[in-house]
Structure 1
Amino acid sequence: MPETMRAVDIKGDVGSAEALYITDIPKPHPKGAQALVRVKAFGINRADIMQRDGEYPAPPQAGRILGLEFAGVIETLGEDHETSFKIGDEAFGLVYGGAYAEYVVVSTHMLIHKPANLSWEECAGIPETWLTATKVMYQVGEFTPGKSILWHAGASGVSISGIQLAIANGASAVYATARSDAKCDFCVKTLGCTAAFKTTDPNWADEALKVTDGKGVDIIADLIGPAVFAGNLKIAARDARVVLIGLMSGFKLKEEVDMGLLAFKRIRYEGSTLRSRNESYQRKLKDSLVEHALPKFEAGLFKVYVEKVFPWEQVVDAHKFMESNTIMGKIICTIR
């Protein structure tokens, strides 16, 4: 068996999309509860862009190769692997890094059996986005049926997942924001949102408050950051939860903010990342997804919206497409 494999690396460790290239690196070996998976497809995520640019320090166990989610075939197993998996099984899962490669080592505790009715591309687009959405809603946002929720960047992978979860699990209203009319229409007409608001409109928060009859929103999932911080405080209901999981508009506030709203409304504003969590935390989310969401994928009630599939030799183009901010769904790369 070859001791090397092909993987996507970054010239100079950080750089633009053009810095990505495919090279040969040592093939990893599974230990303990791990599996070695031959990758058939992997997902592109905003965190990959930030890490490539040097703006997202990866956890130590991630390694230098990008990639957080994948789908593929188990090739070998460590001596203490979960007994529900065997060599040759088709599976998908979440990793701290390394999915942009022909092979990836992953804990079997984080693997999920691939449903027969889902493609490699669809399965590769589930782990990062759906686990993040589950964390935002339940672990941090404290969602219960009857609460309202707003998902910023409504056409992103995480928010598409979260919108479906919220509707299926009894939200009283599900709102979204986006930067274009087309994306707002997608959120309402395709995904089923109650309403969507265009954040390029300076009055978007006033419109959102009007739609809620002045009550505001119970949970806000924020993938944008500084550009919507003041708006979030305005549209938050009393005792609302705002969960910051993305910084698409940068790292620093550029406008004055009425901090009194934060206190008087008793808003809890909390930042959260999934990648920095230990395996025990991630495993609980995975188990929740397998129990509650996977049957809905198998029944066709939940859907992975794949915007475009690239052969992995075109990973530079895939990253540029992500950076265009025009997508409505997941970007997937396949390895043949």
Structure 2
Amino acid sequence: MWAVILEEYGNSEVLQLKEIPNLEPERGEVRVQVHASALNRADIEQRKGNYPPPTPSEHEIPGLEFAGVVDKLGAEVSNWRIGDRVFGLLSAGGYAEQVLTHERMLMPIPPNLTFEQAAAIPEVFFTAYDALTDKANFQAGDTVLIHAGASGVGIAAIQLARVMGASLILTTSRTNWKLEKCRALGATYTINTAEAEFDRVVLDATASRGVDIILDFVGAEYLEKNLNAAALGGRIVQIATLSGSSTQINLQKVLSKRLRLQGTTLRSRPFEQKMTLTQTFAKQILPLFVDGKIKPLIDRSFQLKDVAEAHRYMEDNSNVGKIVLTIASKE
């Protein structure tokens, strides 16, 4: 099979397409012929050598999600048949013609979605769903601030918060046209952080109460303002630290507001937790894709051979929504 192999770390030019042996499923595993994968910021960091996969393997292949067709079954697999259209989350390996995964890490692709649309779902929608429900204990009527609202996770979080009954959804970006996209998806207020202090806007929009939940990708630069913008009993979920991870924290605000600061990552979690999340997501959220109440948003697709160009496009911050890699011929 063909795959993008990292033999060294560096700029996008280190992403090289190589031919390696086909994968063979073991007990409980399924081999999927991949039709599409998608880019994530974690792939950029892995390419630079800053985010290694949790389990070393003979070939280091980036890619955290995939969609394709089951083409080989390991022993004792009972839930899938050859030819099933499936998609799912990975710890690594998505930039390839084949992936191996446990059968309980797979989900059926809704009939109204393409392979490309399905590949755009797992990493961002799993992250957003887990952050809102498990980490932030979302309740209908909560108010939510979503930073980087035009990012993949931001777009997923806006839609999920809307359908789950948020009373107010605020999002941030440094680009007005990206904020327009956020409003179209259901954001109530949008804040250009290049033009305004987001904590002040949040307090104005909530009559000085603040918001119940904050999903943050920025990190150090935003922490103090997040503390200001949080309501009493607010929950701040730290998903990434794009501006850095080291900063001072005003513990008095944490104490007086009874705040909770919760960190989260998906990739390094135990397999059992990922499996449980997959099964819960498939049961509770996948039907919303079938009904069209939420949808993956694709910005642009690239062929696998053009993966270096796709990485450069992501690093330019040009996208709103997912950047997808098409890998195999469509059915």
Q: Flag whether TM exceeds 0.5 (same fold).
A: yes
Q: Which of 69, 75, 78 pairs up with 1:79? A: 75
Contact 1:149–1:218, Cα closer than 8 Å, also in 2:
yes
Q: Which of 239, 246, 251 pairs up with 1:245? A: 239
CA apart distance, 1:44? 0.4
Contact 1:242–1:268, Cα closer than 8 Å, also in 2:
yes
Q: Deviations over 1:132-152 (max 9, x none)?
A: 111101111111111111111
CA apart distance, 1:41? 0.3
Q: Which of 240, 262, 280 pairs up with 1:288? A: 280
Q: 1:61 to 1:291 in 2, by over 3 A?
A: farther
Contact 2:79–2:103, Cα closer than 8 Å, also in 1:
no
Specify the code of the residue in structure 1 equivalent to 2:222: V
Q: Which of 33, 37, 59 pairs up with 1:38? A: 33
Counterpart for residue 60 of structure 2: 64
C-alpha RMSD over aligned residues = 1.4
Task: Confirm whether residue 331 of structure 1 aligns to residue 323 of structure 2.
Answer: yes
Matches of residues 1-336 of structure 1 in structure 2 within 5 Å? 5-12=1-8, 14-60=9-55, 64-81=60-77, 83-188=78-183, 190-201=184-195, 203-253=197-247, 257-336=249-328
Q: Matched residues in 1 for 2:154 and 2:283: separation?
A: 20
**Percent identity at matched positions?**
39
Q: TM-score, normalised by structure 1?
A: 0.94
Q: Matched residues in 2 for 1:292 and 1:333: separation?
A: 27
Provide the secondary structure at the position in 2 that maps to 1:177.
Answer: strand
Q: Matched residues in 1 for 2:90 and 2:249: separation?
A: 37
Q: Deviations over 1:35-85 (max 9, x none)?
A: 11111000100111111111213201676110110001111111122x221
Q: Matched residues in 2 for 1:53 and 1:169: separation?
A: 37
Number of residues paired by the alignment?
Answer: 327
Q: Matched residues in 1 for 2:224 and 2:192: separation?
A: 15
Contact 1:133–1:159, Cα closer than 8 Å, also in 2:
yes
CA apart distance, 1:235? 0.2
Contact 1:6–1:25, Cα closer than 8 Å, also in 2:
yes
Contact 2:104–2:279, Cα closer than 8 Å, also in 1:
no
Moved over 3 A (4+): 256-259
Contact 1:61–1:96, Cα closer than 8 Å, also in 2:
no
